[in-house]
Structures are given as C-alpha cells and as structure tokens.
Amino acid sequence: MGDFFAELGRYLGSANNRSQFFGDLLDHVYLSLVPLVLGLVIAVLAGWLGHRFASARSVLLVVSNLLYTIPSLALFVVIPGIIGSKILDSVNVIVALTVYTAALLVRPVLDALDAVPPHVVAAATAIGYKPARRFLSVELPLSVPVLAAGVRVASVSNISLVSVGALIGTGGLGVLFTDGFQREYFSPIVVGIVATLLLALIVDLVLVQLRDVLTPWDRVATTAGAK
C-alpha cells in the first residue's frame, strides 16, 4: 500500500503527467456534456411531438427503448459507417452519447409533460398563449423537476461512458486506463477512476443547483409549508 502511494506521488509529481491529465479531463468534460445538451434538446422536441400526437408517442417509446439497448462499444464503432466520419474521430462518441441521452430522456420528458396540471394549460390558453409559446413558457418550465431527475441520470451515465471511447482512440480520461493497462501501471488508472467519480459528483451538484434556480416556486412552496 505504501509502495502504491509512493508511486502515485511520483506519477502526480511529474509536470508532464499533470498537463496530460488536465488535457484528458477537459476532453472528458467536453465529450460528456455536449451530448447531454444536444440529447436534451432532441428529447424535448421528440417529447413535444409525442405529447401532441398519440401515434408518435408509442413509436418514440419503442425506438428510444431499442436505441438504449445497443451496447456502447457497438454503437461507437458503427457510427462512422452511418455518418461517414473517420473511425478514430471523437465526433463518433459525441453522436453516440447524444443518441443515448435522447433515448434515455424521451420517457421522462413525456412523463413530465403529462404531469403538468390540465387546468394550468387551460388557464394559459385562456389568457391568450399560442401553443408554441405556451409550451416554452408554461409547460416546459413546469416539467423541470421531473425532467431534472432524468438529466442527472443521463449525466452520470455519459461521464462514465466517455471512457469507453478510449478503445476507439478518442480522448478523455479513458486514455489513462488504456495507458495504465498497457504499461501495467496502477497510478493513471486510479487517478482516472477518482477523477471520473469526482467529475460525476460535481456535475450532479451543479445540475441540482440549476434545477433549484429554474424552479423558484418549489422553494416558496416548501418554505410556506404547502408541500
């Protein structure tokens, strides 16, 4: 154990290793959060369709279930064949994780929109909101609490899945795992695991803050004891 910490100290002591680590960390943040945003936008659009048209709803649920079933490595390597990118291009990971995020969030978006009380929608319509504006300024904000739970799951899953991209040569903290494995060297692997967990935790805390900022009425209701 003492040996291990000495080795870890040596690893972290090298400026070279540190700069590589921070580069990998930045790649990781980029590769996991861009798909989170893109996937959320797609899921909200799809959810809007599914909420309005009953026939679109069942198709969406079947397709999103099926897409979510595809194993990560399989999706990563098939994307180049579909969109014509290079096998080692990091855009493959972004597209694949966007697909997963959207597939994961379709159901929460639908559930969240269903949970908006009909009388609120009716009131908004009655005071003159057009459907598009009503969706953006009434229905979507009200569905944030349910939606936020789904986004948190998706962010953890994305942050953990980006590492698999190292197998197809894209960046991120996964590089530390392949690197450590090839050199039979524990330090980069442990650093990579701990950094991934911390990143997931920090992003989760930020998302919780963001949810609270976006739902001020929830706080009022809690302090007023109405909940």
**The only residue of 36, 116, 174, 207 in contact with another protein, by rule CB under 8 A:** 174
Residue with tokens 């969706």: 135
CA–CA gap between residue 130 and residue 128 (Å, rounded):
6
Half-sphere exposure (CA, 13 Å, Cβ side) for 34?
Answer: 14
Residue nearer to another protein on the CB measure, 115 or 136: 115
CB atoms under 10 Å from CB of 133, counted, come to: 11
- 91 binding another protein? (CB under 8 A): no
As measured in angstroms, the least distance from the Cβ of 201 to another protein is 7
Q: Nearest-CA neighbor of 112 among 203, 38, 40, 177? A: 40
C-alpha dist (Å) from residue 82 to 36, 79, 193? 21, 5, 32
Q: Which amino acid is at 92?
A: N
The distance of closest approach from Cβ of residue 2 to another protein in the complex, given in angstroms and rounded to an integer, is: 16
78 binds another protein (CB under 8 A): yes
Q: Which stretch binds another protein (CB under 8 A): 17-25, 61-69, 127-135, 137-145?
A: 61-69
Closest approach, Cβ 1 to another protein, in A, equals: 12
If one asks whether residue 151 binds another protein (CB under 8 A), the answer comes out as no
CB 212 to another protein: min, Å: 19
User: Which segments of the chain does DSSP mark as H helices, in order?
Assistant: 2-13, 15-52, 54-69, 72-83, 91-114, 118-126, 131-134, 140-142, 144-161, 174-182, 186-214, 216-223
Decide: is 147 part of the binding site for another protein (CB under 8 A): no
Structural tokens at position 209: 């803050």
90: contact with another protein by CB under 8 A: no
What is d(CA 95, CA 27) in angstroms, rounded to the nearest whole number? Answer: 15
Binding flag, residue 8, another protein (CB under 8 A)? no
Task: Let me know the angle formed at the C-alpha of 212 by 206 and 214, rounded to the nearest 5 degrees.
Answer: 100
The vertex-38 CA angle with 34 and 44, nearest 5°, equals 145
Residue 70 touching another protein (CB under 8 A): yes
Residue 147 CB, nearest approach to another protein (Å): 15
| Nearer to another protein (CB atom), residue 13 or residue 71 | 71
User: Is position 66 an interface residue for another protein (rule: CB under 8 A)?
Assistant: yes
Instruction: Please identify, among the stretches 8-16, 18-26, 46-54, 169-177, the one whose residues bind another protein according to the rule CB under 8 A.
Output: 169-177
**Cβ count near 123 (within 10 Å):** 12
Applying CB under 8 A, the residues found at the interface with another protein are 65-66, 68-75, 77-78, 81, 87, 107, 156-157, 159-164, 166-168, 173-174, 176-178, 180-181, 184, 186, 189-190, 192-193, 196-197, 200-201
